[in-house]
Amino acid sequence: MKTAKAVEKFEVKELDALGIEYEKSYSDKGKVHRIRLDFSAREWYGIINTEGEYLSICCGTISEMRDILIECLRFDCWIKMDDFRRLIQLGDSHGCTQAKSGPVKKLASIWKIVEPHAEAIRVSSCDFNDTEDAIFAIGQLTNHLAHDYIMGIAQNVTKADRSRCAANTRVTLGKLMACLHTILNKIPKEHLKPFVGYAIRDKKTKEICDNRSMGLFIYGEKADAEKVLARSEDAADFEIVKVKITLDKGIEVQ
């Protein structure tokens, strides 16, 4: 571990100047693997709490940002570069990194300093012909793709960085296509066949209920959907509908 006071060969002077603790990457020589966010208790409360003053309750983007920060807090305030990169992407897309003060502004400022030293998203060691590796790589690749796309269209990006993002986008898309080809050809065929089941749907919005950790509330048997709905205090606001899921048309209500 490297701190502002420790003496090691691996140093990032910009982080040292701010007294930010960091650890070097063992997969990307000379780069930072993770840093420690030094927020006060009040700042953590204000950014983690859904009723806090720094992040509103408005959409899935903010929810995902909060989940990343909660995970960081669980590990003694250490945040890996992949998670930090994703956090800033989400903040940029929502506009909250433009805050004039508070911990969100602090996050954006720290990222500007650490980004040139952040370890790269590494997927080159994956075997794209292996189903498990391909599925794992897709998550990392889409993260990388989102970063390059957002950077590529940003107003303050230099011509050199814009061209670099354009090149990386093409490389990433090629890897994604290889992964998808493997999955479609090697995943068990039953997963590619149409699925008919029962979904719990909001009566007003007509949207199928979704839980970030569990996914869509769609079941093969109607009785299973009924059991889940019966446990809800707001059951009267929802309904059960029959659905058909196909790769080409997605979810269709029958």
Domain boundaries, the chain: 13-117, 131-186, 194-253
- Amino acid identity at 236: A
Q: Are 226 and 253 in contact (CB under 8 A)?
A: no
Q: What percent of the chain has pLDDT over 90?
A: 19
Percentage of residues of the chain with pLDDT beyond 70: 87
For residue 35, report the phi and psi dihedrals to the nearest 5 degrees: -130, 165
- pLDDT tens for 83-107 read 888 888 778 766 776 777 788 888 9
Average pLDDT over residues 228-241: 89
Could you report the per-residue pLDDT of 97-136, keeping only the tens digit for each?
Answer: 677 778 888 898 899 899 888 887 665 566 778 888 888 8
Q: Is the per-residue pLDDT at 241 higher than 70?
A: yes
Which residues, listed in sequence order, are joined to residue 118 by a DSSP beta bridge?
32
193-230 confidence digits (pLDDT tens): 899 999 999 998 999 988 765 788 999 999 999 998 98
Q: Report how far residue 76's alpha carbon sits from residue 79's, in angstroms, rounded to the nearest whole number.
A: 9
pTM for the full model? 0.51
With left for phi above 0 and alpha for psi between -120 and 50, is residue 250 left, alpha or beta?
left
